[in-house]
Structure 1
């Protein structure tokens, strides 16, 4: 690794710390090249390289000239860049449905168990369920809110990496859920069951029962996957075993 590469990484790490610690927020300007160079003891070319990386990640927007819109302005927090990269990966190559389901099982069961142990504020999650239960929504709208409900739990965890990962996977989750809805014998029956399962997840979390919360999320995600009979892989993929992709006996 060259000194120049280490230098621009120093700039990235410094800006990332300021973002995570709240010293920089969306809408703030980054210090100028000269100031960052002097403060961090690196060359201005290293500062420019770091800012280019941040711009590609979607964390900053740059504009030339003078005035309040010039320079490098923060437009997202670090999770936003991670989510954007994952969305680009999905758009470019796609992910096997079974891989998405397995990732959800790993992440979301852990989130539910952790939430049950911390008693968080789940007002946002409950409000989403209120909307889903109070309206006769078409499958696409229902499943979009379903994905948002699961994202809201990840956000409630306070873990930025998990929340960013779930946000990046959201379009993939919606897509496979909507594709699977067309295979169901009764959408009304399935949607009613999904709503009951959502409430059971919240109840388990709010009651402080990590094991029940973990199990409720697992059965909810895996049950829908098993019910829809979606293909487990892309057509060009070789078969792979996916552990826990469906509930036992499914």
Structure 2
């Protein structure tokens, strides 16, 4: 089969799965038929089916596992932030997406999220994840890489209160795209012991403003926090 024909066969499987998801024929947690069954259904090679499934795994739409049992086979999942994070990280590494532009985009989305969270219909219980992350970051024994991971999760948890899943997904992806650069910069520049105390103070202030539903103050504090951190790190 030629490269063009293989590409068309690959696209047939992708379009079928997309249409099935859109129509509701396929739902999260559903299992796809095996490679052989799909190949026979569309009259294409198993290699073309395999390529299509791998593409959807990279996109965070499917998860494949060998063996037997409830977690085996190819299952419909949804993990868009992971897929977007990988794609953005590669483009940042290629210097097509400058780190400073990623930071600026993050500031725009996060300030918008915290402003809108003030009027969003979340309950105090929904703050629990952010509160637990805040408390976990108080541990003086945390390595900087673990702290920055918890830091990223804390910001995403607060931004999620706005209720916009697209913004939350993009936020998580942007953080993932440059986390390696941040960890490298923190290690290279030193002075982490002093910086971490400032970060904790910033986090507490932001959390308290969000908890009080003060959108203007939340947005201002998070902008100042992000700008301060990246001035230190980059």
Distance 1:142 1:61, change over 3 A: closer
SS of 2:74's partner is strand
Length, aligned pairs only: 217
Structure 1 residue aligned with 2:203: 198
State whether residues 106 and 174 of structure 2, in contact with CA within 8 Å, keep that contact through their aligned partners in structure 1. Answer: no
- Gaps (5+ residues) in structure 1? 37-41, 231-250
1:24 maps to which of 18, 22, 28:
28
Indicate whether 1:150 and 2:155 are aligned: yes
Ranges of 4+ aligned residues in structure 1 off by more than 6 Å: 4-7, 42-45, 63-70
Alignment TM-score, normalising by the size of structure 1: 0.66
**Per-residue Cα deviation, 1:113-149 (whole angstroms, up to 9, x for no partner):** 1222225312111111101113333323322221221
- Per the TM alignment, residue 44 of structure 1 is displaced from its structure 2 partner at its CA by 7.0
CA RMSD of aligned residues (A): 3.9
Structure 2 residue aligned with 1:219: 224
- Per the TM alignment, residue 66 of structure 1 is displaced from its structure 2 partner at its CA by 9.7
Structure 2 residue aligned with 1:107: 109
Q: Distance in 2 between matches of 1:132 and 1:67?
A: 38
- Per the TM alignment, residue 106 of structure 1 is displaced from its structure 2 partner at its CA by 0.9
Structure 1 residue aligned with 2:74: 72
Distance 1:116 1:71, change over 3 A: same
- Per the TM alignment, residue 31 of structure 1 is displaced from its structure 2 partner at its CA by 6.2
Q: Which moved more, 1:4-13 or 1:137-146?
A: 4-13
Alignment TM-score, normalising by the size of structure 2: 0.70
Distance 1:80 1:179, change over 3 A: closer
Distance 1:80 1:57, change over 3 A: same
Structure with the higher fraction of residues in helix conformation: 2
